[in-house]
Chain A
Protein backbone atom coordinates (compact mmCIF):
# COMPACT_ATOMS: atom_id res chain seq x y z
CA UNK A 1 0.00 0.00 0.00
CA UNK A 2 1.34 3.41 -0.91
CA UNK A 3 0.97 6.00 1.80
CA UNK A 4 0.55 9.59 0.69
CA UNK A 5 3.56 11.49 1.98
CA UNK A 6 4.33 15.16 1.74
CA UNK A 7 6.85 15.92 -0.97
CA UNK A 8 8.70 19.16 -0.64
CA UNK A 9 11.09 19.69 -3.48
CA UNK A 10 10.94 23.40 -4.16
CA UNK A 11 14.50 23.95 -5.34
CA UNK A 12 14.16 27.70 -4.88
CA UNK A 13 13.39 27.30 -1.20
CA UNK A 14 15.45 24.30 -0.09
CA UNK A 15 18.51 25.56 1.76
CA UNK A 16 21.40 23.32 0.81
CA UNK A 17 23.80 22.23 3.52
CA UNK A 18 27.45 23.08 2.81
CA UNK A 19 28.40 19.62 1.45
CA UNK A 20 25.35 19.81 -0.82
CA UNK A 21 26.54 23.18 -2.07
CA UNK A 22 29.95 21.73 -2.94
CA UNK A 23 28.22 18.82 -4.63
CA UNK A 24 25.98 20.91 -6.90
CA UNK A 25 28.93 23.14 -7.80
CA UNK A 26 30.85 19.97 -8.71
CA UNK A 27 28.06 19.07 -11.10
CA UNK A 28 27.75 22.58 -12.56
CA UNK A 29 31.51 22.91 -13.04
CA UNK A 30 31.64 19.47 -14.65
CA UNK A 31 28.91 20.38 -17.12
CA UNK A 32 30.67 23.67 -17.94
CA UNK A 33 33.94 21.85 -18.54
CA UNK A 34 32.22 19.44 -20.91
CA UNK A 35 30.21 22.01 -22.85
CA UNK A 36 32.73 24.88 -23.02
CA UNK A 37 36.02 23.57 -21.67
CA UNK A 38 36.74 20.55 -23.84
CA UNK A 39 36.20 22.14 -27.28
CA UNK A 40 38.16 25.26 -26.29
CA UNK A 41 40.98 23.16 -24.80
CA UNK A 42 41.21 21.11 -27.99
CA UNK A 43 41.26 24.22 -30.16
CA UNK A 44 43.97 25.70 -27.93
CA UNK A 45 46.03 22.49 -28.05
CA UNK A 46 45.75 22.39 -31.83
CA UNK A 47 46.80 26.02 -32.32
CA UNK A 48 49.53 25.91 -29.68
CA UNK A 49 51.28 23.06 -31.47
CA UNK A 50 50.66 24.17 -35.06
CA UNK A 51 53.48 26.73 -35.41
CA UNK A 52 55.23 29.52 -33.48
CA UNK A 53 52.95 32.02 -35.24
CA UNK A 54 49.80 30.12 -34.29
CA UNK A 55 51.09 29.88 -30.71
CA UNK A 56 51.64 33.64 -30.57
CA UNK A 57 48.23 34.27 -32.13
CA UNK A 58 46.59 32.03 -29.55
CA UNK A 59 48.37 33.90 -26.76
CA UNK A 60 47.06 37.16 -28.24
CA UNK A 61 43.50 35.79 -28.36
CA UNK A 62 43.81 34.65 -24.73
CA UNK A 63 44.77 38.15 -23.61
CA UNK A 64 41.53 39.64 -24.95
CA UNK A 65 39.41 40.85 -22.01
CA UNK A 66 36.48 38.59 -22.88
CA UNK A 67 38.77 35.58 -23.37
CA UNK A 68 40.39 36.28 -20.01
CA UNK A 69 36.97 36.22 -18.38
CA UNK A 70 36.14 32.87 -20.00
CA UNK A 71 39.53 31.45 -18.99
CA UNK A 72 39.02 32.71 -15.46
CA UNK A 73 35.64 30.97 -15.28
CA UNK A 74 37.01 27.76 -16.73
CA UNK A 75 39.96 27.87 -14.33
CA UNK A 76 37.51 28.02 -11.44
CA UNK A 77 35.46 25.16 -12.92
CA UNK A 78 38.56 22.98 -13.31
CA UNK A 79 39.98 23.81 -9.89
CA UNK A 80 36.69 23.39 -8.05
CA UNK A 81 36.00 20.12 -9.85
CA UNK A 82 39.53 18.98 -9.01
CA UNK A 83 39.37 19.89 -5.30
CA UNK A 84 35.81 18.66 -4.76
CA UNK A 85 36.72 15.48 -6.65
CA UNK A 86 39.60 14.78 -4.28
CA UNK A 87 37.20 15.32 -1.38
CA UNK A 88 34.80 12.77 -2.86
CA UNK A 89 37.64 10.28 -3.35
CA UNK A 90 38.60 10.68 0.31
CA UNK A 91 34.95 10.21 1.34
CA UNK A 92 34.91 6.97 -0.69
CA UNK A 93 37.91 5.84 1.36
CA UNK A 94 35.80 6.48 4.47
CA UNK A 95 37.79 9.57 5.38
CA UNK A 96 35.96 12.63 6.71
CA UNK A 97 32.45 11.20 6.61
CA UNK A 98 31.47 12.59 10.00
CA UNK A 99 29.26 15.68 9.87
CA UNK A 100 31.84 18.02 11.38
CA UNK A 101 34.70 16.94 9.11
CA UNK A 102 32.40 16.87 6.09
CA UNK A 103 31.47 20.51 6.73
CA UNK A 104 35.08 21.50 7.32
CA UNK A 105 36.32 19.79 4.16
CA UNK A 106 33.51 21.50 2.21
CA UNK A 107 34.77 24.87 3.36
CA UNK A 108 38.35 23.87 2.54
CA UNK A 109 37.32 22.85 -0.99
CA UNK A 110 35.48 26.14 -1.59
CA UNK A 111 38.28 28.29 -0.17
CA UNK A 112 41.22 26.46 -1.75
CA UNK A 113 39.65 26.31 -5.20
CA UNK A 114 38.76 30.01 -5.02
CA UNK A 115 42.25 30.92 -3.82
CA UNK A 116 43.86 28.93 -6.63
CA UNK A 117 41.48 30.53 -9.12
CA UNK A 118 42.51 33.97 -7.90
CA UNK A 119 46.15 32.96 -8.41
CA UNK A 120 45.32 32.04 -12.00
CA UNK A 121 43.50 35.35 -12.29
CA UNK A 122 46.56 37.20 -11.05
CA UNK A 123 48.55 35.61 -13.88
CA UNK A 124 45.83 36.42 -16.41
CA UNK A 125 45.69 40.14 -15.58
Chain B
Protein backbone atom coordinates (compact mmCIF):
# COMPACT_ATOMS: atom_id res chain seq x y z
CA UNK B 1 0.00 0.00 0.00
CA UNK B 2 1.25 3.43 -0.88
CA UNK B 3 1.21 5.82 2.02
CA UNK B 4 0.89 9.31 0.71
CA UNK B 5 2.26 12.16 2.74
CA UNK B 6 0.62 15.57 2.57
CA UNK B 7 3.20 16.53 -0.01
CA UNK B 8 3.12 13.82 -2.66
CA UNK B 9 4.43 13.44 -6.18
CA UNK B 10 3.07 15.68 -8.95
CA UNK B 11 1.14 18.08 -6.71
CA UNK B 12 3.53 20.82 -7.78
CA UNK B 13 3.16 20.11 -11.48
CA UNK B 14 -0.64 20.17 -11.19
CA UNK B 15 -0.52 23.53 -9.38
CA UNK B 16 1.98 24.94 -11.87
CA UNK B 17 -0.31 24.03 -14.76
CA UNK B 18 -3.51 25.17 -13.02
CA UNK B 19 -1.97 28.53 -12.14
CA UNK B 20 -1.19 29.18 -15.82
CA UNK B 21 -4.43 27.87 -17.32
CA UNK B 22 -6.58 29.84 -14.88
CA UNK B 23 -4.45 32.93 -15.67
CA UNK B 24 -5.22 32.57 -19.38
CA UNK B 25 -8.95 32.12 -18.65
CA UNK B 26 -9.02 35.33 -16.60
CA UNK B 27 -6.94 37.25 -19.16
CA UNK B 28 -9.34 36.27 -21.96
CA UNK B 29 -12.36 37.33 -19.88
CA UNK B 30 -10.68 40.62 -19.02
CA UNK B 31 -10.02 41.40 -22.68
CA UNK B 32 -13.58 40.37 -23.56
CA UNK B 33 -15.11 42.81 -21.06
CA UNK B 34 -12.69 45.52 -22.16
CA UNK B 35 -13.60 44.93 -25.82
CA UNK B 36 -17.31 45.17 -24.99
CA UNK B 37 -16.76 48.40 -23.05
CA UNK B 38 -14.77 49.92 -25.92
CA UNK B 39 -17.29 48.73 -28.52
CA UNK B 40 -20.21 50.21 -26.60
CA UNK B 41 -18.28 53.39 -25.87
CA UNK B 42 -18.41 52.95 -22.09
CA UNK B 43 -20.72 51.07 -19.76
CA UNK B 44 -23.87 52.52 -18.23
CA UNK B 45 -26.53 50.69 -16.29
CA UNK B 46 -28.57 49.69 -19.36
CA UNK B 47 -25.60 48.15 -21.18
CA UNK B 48 -24.36 46.45 -18.01
CA UNK B 49 -27.77 45.02 -17.09
CA UNK B 50 -28.39 43.82 -20.66
CA UNK B 51 -25.01 42.11 -20.75
CA UNK B 52 -25.89 40.00 -17.72
CA UNK B 53 -29.19 38.87 -19.20
CA UNK B 54 -27.15 36.66 -21.53
CA UNK B 55 -26.65 33.22 -20.01
CA UNK B 56 -23.39 32.90 -21.95
CA UNK B 57 -22.00 35.99 -20.25
CA UNK B 58 -23.11 34.78 -16.82
CA UNK B 59 -21.41 31.44 -17.46
CA UNK B 60 -18.27 33.25 -18.64
CA UNK B 61 -18.35 35.33 -15.44
CA UNK B 62 -18.75 32.17 -13.38
CA UNK B 63 -15.77 30.60 -15.19
CA UNK B 64 -13.76 33.72 -14.37
CA UNK B 65 -14.77 33.42 -10.71
CA UNK B 66 -13.85 29.73 -10.54
CA UNK B 67 -10.52 30.38 -12.27
CA UNK B 68 -9.89 33.18 -9.77
CA UNK B 69 -10.77 30.91 -6.84
CA UNK B 70 -8.23 28.32 -7.96
CA UNK B 71 -5.58 30.86 -8.98
CA UNK B 72 -5.84 32.86 -5.75
CA UNK B 73 -5.74 29.68 -3.65
CA UNK B 74 -2.44 28.55 -5.22
CA UNK B 75 -0.96 32.06 -4.97
CA UNK B 76 -2.04 32.75 -1.41
CA UNK B 77 -0.99 29.28 -0.24
CA UNK B 78 2.46 29.94 -1.72
CA UNK B 79 2.64 33.22 0.18
CA UNK B 80 1.58 31.61 3.49
CA UNK B 81 4.09 28.78 2.91
CA UNK B 82 6.92 31.20 2.23
CA UNK B 83 6.41 33.65 5.08
CA UNK B 84 4.43 31.96 7.84
CA UNK B 85 6.51 29.24 9.46
CA UNK B 86 4.50 28.12 12.55
CA UNK B 87 2.32 25.27 11.26
CA UNK B 88 -0.71 26.12 13.37
CA UNK B 89 -0.82 29.75 12.21
CA UNK B 90 -0.24 28.78 8.60
CA UNK B 91 -2.97 26.15 8.68
CA UNK B 92 -5.35 28.69 10.16
CA UNK B 93 -4.53 31.23 7.43
CA UNK B 94 -4.95 28.57 4.74
CA UNK B 95 -8.31 27.54 6.13
CA UNK B 96 -9.46 31.17 6.26
CA UNK B 97 -8.29 31.62 2.66
CA UNK B 98 -10.22 28.58 1.45
CA UNK B 99 -13.36 29.57 3.34
CA UNK B 100 -13.20 33.11 1.97
CA UNK B 101 -12.70 31.94 -1.61
CA UNK B 102 -15.48 29.34 -1.51
CA UNK B 103 -17.74 31.91 0.14
CA UNK B 104 -16.93 34.39 -2.62
CA UNK B 105 -17.97 31.87 -5.27
CA UNK B 106 -21.25 31.42 -3.40
CA UNK B 107 -21.68 35.20 -3.45
CA UNK B 108 -21.04 35.29 -7.22
CA UNK B 109 -23.65 32.60 -7.80
CA UNK B 110 -26.11 34.59 -5.73
CA UNK B 111 -25.42 37.78 -7.70
CA UNK B 112 -25.51 36.07 -11.09
CA UNK B 113 -28.57 33.90 -10.68
CA UNK B 114 -30.57 34.83 -7.62
CA UNK B 115 -30.42 38.61 -7.62
CA UNK B 116 -30.02 39.61 -11.25
CA UNK B 117 -32.48 37.08 -12.62
Residues of A within 8 A of B (CB): 27, 30-31, 33-34, 38-39, 42, 45-46, 48-50, 52, 55-56, 82, 85-86, 89, 92
Contacts and interface: CB of A to CB of B under 8 A. Distances in A.
Contacts of A39: 104
Given A31-B76, A48-B48, 5 more contacts: A30-B76, A34-B72, A46-B107, A56-B45, A89-B23
B contacts with A: majority SS: helix
**5 nearest interchain CB pairs?**
A55-B45, A49-B116, A30-B75, A34-B72, A46-B111
A34 B69 CA distance: 10
Interface residues of B, number: 21
A45 B97 CA distance: 21
Given A27-B79, A46-B115, A52-B45, A82 B107 contact: no
B48 A55 contact: yes
A34 B79 CA distance: 12
Contacts of A30: 72, 75-76, 79
Contact of B76 (A34, A50, A92): A34
Contact of A49 (B23, B68, B97, B115): B115
B20 A92 contact: yes
